[in-house]
Structure 1
Amino acid sequence: MRKSWLAFALGWAVILAGSLLAHVVQTSGGVTVQDVRFAGDKGTTLSALVYTPPGASAARPAPAVLVSHGYINTREMQSAFAIELARRGFVVLAMDMSGHGGSTGIVGTNDFGGPAALRYLKSLPQVDKANIGLEGHSLGGGPVVGAAASDPAGYKSVVLEGSTPAIGAVFGSAAKADLRNLAIVFGGYDEFAELMWQVEKGVDVPKSKALQALFRTSGPVVPGQVYGDVAAGSARVLYVPPVTHPAEHFSVAGVAPAVDWFQKTLDGEANPLPPTQQIWIWKEVGTLIGFAGLVILMLATFQLLLSAPWFRALAHPAEPAAERRGGRWWLAFVLTAALPAITFFPFMKLGMLFLPMAFFPQWITNQLLVWALLNAVLTLLLGLVLKSARPSVKTDWLRSAAIALLVAGVGYLSLHIVDQFLHVDYRFWVLGLKPLDALHLGYALAYLPLWTAFFLVALHALHANLAVKGEGRMVQYAAGMAAMCLGFVVLLAVQYASLFVTGRLAIPSEPLNTIVGIQFVPLLAVVGLIAVFTYRRTGSHVPGALICALFITWYVVSGTATHWSPQFQLPAPGRG
């Protein structure tokens, strides 16, 4: 009991330590961070974080930059740009695009919310209206172009990271603008080179005919060379750092060109610094520590609750049916690890037929559920073929559901606290866990039964096939976590080995789902950890399955884009 309380306290301590580190970094030098909501167009509401450097006020307005994340991301994905620009003296508005994060509407609505976000930024008294920049990563180019088209004289310069001025058309935006003082940052290993610039490889972007037309040149664009005139607003420059698409907003090489361009084209920053002098990575380290603390806290909460009188009935030592690791065990392990990864791309494509609708409005979530549920069917069929010995399972549904809700609830409470008081969440790079507002909570309740069905099947098969009598604790954890995520490790290794050697993914038609798949390595490892931890203490797959269903539903719904709402029609599904 004492160890359980110590683990519980440790979880809170790790969360607070990581979150405080993240908060200190993003407020470095006296920067303040404010969570805001403001009116969008046509009855929508937009969400953003406002970073204000010290000294910026109505009496001493500072230059400002509107920054936007990419598809199925949120405003926190722009932390690197926001932190580095704010500590140099720029006011930064990091927006949630329409249909993302805390912004209502659907993807593409009102030019992705860009025009309203620019108006809001210019309404802030601490902002110098004559020195405003725009930056967007990937689909974040949509709100940037929309903002520029809505107010052609209302900004001075633009940075598009891993994007193109035509990106908004992917979700139906017709906004066009002759962007002023434009910098293009496009990674030499960017997975979207063909979609964005109609070339096979990121390093070939200088040869893109579309880029050459944008730069008004008849030959290959020379990276680093400024074309046109900054004073006239006609400047163009290309940077091709040796990074991938998701690293363009998560690397010194990707962030530095944007910082450099705004320092050159906007006037009045109070604290000029070399573009490569960056501290943002420590904010990400802090929020990663917070994520680890969340997992510790949830496991410790489960252990504590098992000692409570009402939940004590759940506590039964696991009784695996398998006697040893023979050929059948290894076959089950390989199939458990490989099938979800092998089927990921084809089932995600098939999932596009699960169109957004009233109760299931998130297209990516719909696709993921098609993948998950079809894998559940395959798992049931393989169970008939393998005919593994089945362990006896004592299922107490009421207590299992109650303990799962309490475990997830304590985890959610921790995130709510750090979000409210420190304006941080739990994340690292493409991994991100955010609070749920009322709208997204409704979505989660609709999706939860489907995720629950998947995890009940998946974790029952995991323990039935892979748990072995008398095996050591660490071996069991390693086997469970590896079985859940190893297939995705191999899939991503193949994709990115090809990208780094040849300049193209092994399956080049799957750039988006490849990037989506990166999250599945840590997420499925956590699922495996929770599954084994709860099974060892209860002898049942049910409590762990319910906890994982709540956790993954929360994770996916809070960070995925909305594609349907009663007020808006579904845009054409023309995405890469």
Structure 2
Amino acid sequence: MSKSKTRKTAIILCISIILMLVSAVATMVIQTGGGSITIKELHWETDSGFAMDGWLFIPGGATAENPAPGIVTSHGMYNNKGMQDANFVELARRGYVVLAQDMPSHGESDNVNNVGLVTSGLYQSVKVLADLPYVDKSRIGITGHSMGGMSCNAAIELDNQAEEQLISAVLLNCADATYVDADGAWTNIYGSRDAGIMAAQYDEFFMQDTDENGNTTLPKDYVQYNNAQSFLYFGTDPTGQELRQADTVYYETIDGREAVRVIYNPAITHPWAHFSQRATSAVISFFEETLGAPNPLPADDQIWQVKEAFNLVGLIGFGMFITCFTLLMVKTPFFASLGREEPVAPRTVSGKGKAWFWGSLLLGAIFGSAVYIPIMLNAKTFTVFYDGWPQSSPWGVCLWAAACGLFAILSMVVSYFAFGKKNGLNLKEVGVRISLPQLGKTILLAAIVICVAFGCVFFTDYFFKADFRIWVLAVKTFAVDKVAVAVFPYAVFFLVYYVGNSVALNCFNYNDIGGKHRWINTIIVAVAAVLPAVVLLLMQYLPFFAGGDLMFRDANMQVVWLFPMLVVLPVAAIISRKIYRATNNPYLPGIILGIIVTMISCSNTLTWSPT
């Protein structure tokens, strides 16, 4: 890079650091209510023999003399406590003491070996909350999304067996209630507690019933069928009863107490529930109705979106930092041999060269789209116990990534021998061939960039209780055990894709299509990278939103995993191209991105213990 470009890169690096700091400070200010809410990270040993972790939000008005109602919030499967930010931000600012838990085998909590122990964790959090002097034990609520909702049901069962019942209100978020007992009879396990359901009309996993002909119903029709109606009728047989409605609170006196039943029914999907103004309004309204907020605010008075916006600012800064820090490091004396004074120029192609370019991109997209579902359905990617690998979700995704990477490598081999070699493609000139000393420096620099980049994440977490995220994509801290888990096979398989893809898009597909506008080529390869995810998501959801069922009902969870890729895949392609132009080295961005994506994947999922 020239001196002027180096100076510009240094300025952008400073801007990226400022963006991450602004993101962290703004997140802290919002989460603490400008200093009126204390946040503590708790790590406690449960009476089941495993440790759990959570963030405790303590409003200033909650004291031993004036205890406040308390609420446990729980994320769903393959997530972590940060995914409940809409709920813990809004509930804490309304005066509730909130404990946002990491379920067992998630986040910073200990790993367990079966799903039963995972769902048992929420009641452990309830007991922690009940022991706090500034929590009103007579007003403790719980809410959980997806498996967090299943954990709520498990907590109710455990609470029913306890000598002293601790839970007074429960809101299931995108999770079915317990409708019938072991004999199939309608039941009310919630008793005199207040209970509600946040039932998404386009839920991919729950809210299905059976109609009069024995056919499975769609989630959007959930409220009109027997399961929902029995719930609204407090666990009794709804046959012959007047149809009860969504978004209406129903009351009945049970054991001398007036109990509540309500179903909220927003037109959203399952994963959208923890990124939804409507779903958050349901949570606020429910607990205002059942526990009473010490600092009541209208349900639509929400600021968590501002936090998410600043989290996104930090995420953008994180991506900019990776790119600019790498580019500046290649200007240091030790790594200078990896850099170039002038950016790599695109290759000129015409005729058959353009056909190979478009053909390889199209075939790659078709292959990626075609093999995703078969791999996911045949590789134990959704398990409820340790079954070969500790993390089943990254296992499936990295298998697919490796398959796509191997296809890209095969395509490059065919392209080179069938066309490129005879048309002047020099593998050394474009960076495919690299000496061992240069490869060693490449690996060392990649390791430094990865460590420093995640150092920024750990810094923001330690000082500000913040990370960088948007919706289902989160760059967060991780414990040492996640590093050990990530090494094999996940990192190896992700590297096959990210290194192979970097070589393909830079050494074979960086050409003059777009003319003087070189960014057009970058946009084309970025779109090609994300196209399989876009195609599969459209195939899955367009029929669903049109009133039919999901296209891939048997792979509904695995298709949800494609949402983060809508950001990761194109951004990775753009970062890869930026680094390649300054280094003529496709392996450097490939290794950096492969390891970073591995750690993002392995720190945001469920980890089974083998014993």
Match of 1:484 among 526, 529, 541: 529
2:562 to 511, 514, 517: 517
How many angstroms apart in 2 are the aligned matches of 1:353 and 1:432? 20
1:263-342 maps to which residues of 2 (within 5 A)?
Answer: 263-267=288-292, 269-316=293-340, 317-318=343-344, 323-324=349-350, 326-342=354-370
Given candidates 153, 171, 174, the residue that maps to 1:145 is 153
Say if 2:476 is the partner of 1:450.
no
Name the CA distance, whole Å, in 2 between partners of 1:354 and 1:81.
27
Does residue 1:14 correspond to 2:37, yes or no? no
Shift, 1:383, TM fit? 3.4
Tell me the SS of whatever aligns to 1:561: coil
* CA–CA distance in structure 2, aligned partners of residues 566 and 13 of structure 1: 42
Superposed displacement of residue 286, structure 1: 0.8
Q: 1:41 to 1:397 in 2, by over 3 A?
A: farther
Corresponding residue number in structure 2 for 1:226: 249
Looking at structure 2, the residues matched to 148 and 494 of structure 1 have their Cα atoms a distance apart, in angstroms, of: 38
Cross-structure match for 1:163: 175
Indicate yes or no: 2:198 matched with 1:185.
yes
Q: Deviations over 1:367-386 (max 9, x none)?
A: 11221222233333333444
- Alpha-carbon offset, residue 354 of structure 1: 9.8
Per the normalisation by structure 2, the TM-score is 0.86
Match of 1:127 among 118, 135, 156: 135
Measured against aligned partners, the alpha-carbon deviations of 1:65-113 in whole angstroms (never above 9, x if no partner) come to 1110111111111111111111111011111111111111235253341
Distance between the aligned counterparts of 2:272 and 2:382, measured in 1?
A: 30
Equivalents in 1 of 2:419, 2:506: separation in Å?
A: 11
Deviation at 1:163, TM superposition (A): 0.4
- Counterpart of 1:104 in structure 2 is 110
CA contact (8 A) 2:251 2:259 kept: yes
Matched, 1:461 2:504: yes
Gap change, CA 1:40 and 1:501, over 3 Å in 2: same
State how far apart, in whole Å, the 2-side matches of 1:37 and 1:109 are: 21
The match for 1:352 among 373, 380, 384 is 380
State the Cα RMSD in Å: 2.5
Kindly state the Cα deviation for residue 146 of structure 1 after the two structures are TM-superposed: 2.3
Residues in 1 aligned to 2:68 and 2:204: alpha-carbon distance in whole angstroms: 36
User: Is this contact kept in 2: 1:130–1:154, CA < 8 A?
Assistant: yes
* Corresponding residue number in structure 2 for 1:475: 520
Number of residues of Structure 1 aligned to a counterpart in Structure 2: 558
TM-score by length of 1: 0.91
Partner residue, 2:3: none
User: What amino acid is aligned across from residue 425 of structure 1 in structure 2?
Assistant: D
- Aligned-partner SS, 1:158: strand
Moved more, 133-142 or 34-43: 34-43
Deviation at 1:471, TM superposition (A): 5.9
Q: Is the 8 A contact 2:386 2:610 kept in 1?
A: no
In structure 2, stretches of 5+ residues that fail to align are: 1-5, 182-187
Which residue does the alignment assign to 1:572? none
Quote the offset at 1:254 in angstroms: 0.8
Identical-residue share of aligned pairs (%): 27
| Alignment partners' CA distance in 2, 1:340 and 1:544 | 21
Distance across 2 between alignment mates of 1:166 and 1:430: 28
2:94 is aligned to 88
Structure 1 position 177, deviation (Å): 4.1
* Cα distance in 2 for residues equivalent to 1:23 and 1:547: 29
1:418 and 2:460 aligned: yes
1:354–1:486 Cα change, 3 Å = closer
Q: Retained in 1: the 8 A contact 2:201–2:267?
A: yes
Q: Bigger radius of gyration, 1 or 2?
A: 2
Contact 1:164 1:196 in 2 (8 A): no
Aligned partners of 1:50 and 1:409: how far apart in 2?
Answer: 29
Tell me the CA shift for residue 130 of structure 1: 0.7
Distance in 2 between residues matched to 1:566 and 1:333, nearest whole Å: 41
Q: Deviations over 1:162-181 (max 9, x none)?
A: 101359x9xxxxxx943621
The Cα offsets for residues 488-543 of structure 1, whole Å up to 9 and x where unpaired, read as 22332333322222253333333212221111010112211121112112212110
Q: Does 1:400 align with 2:413?
A: no
Q: Which amino acid aligns with 1:191?
A: E
- The SS at the match of 1:326 is helix
Q: 1:497 maps to which residue?
A: 542
Q: Does residue 1:48 correspond to 2:77, yes or no?
A: no
User: Could you tell me which residue of structure 1 aligns to residue 263 of structure 2?
Assistant: 238
**CA–CA separation in structure 1 for the residues paired with 2:20 and 2:80:** 21
CA-to-aligned-CA distance 1:251-297 (integer Å, 9 cap, x gap) = 11111112111111114x32111111111111111111100000111
**1:416: Cα distance to partner?**
0.7
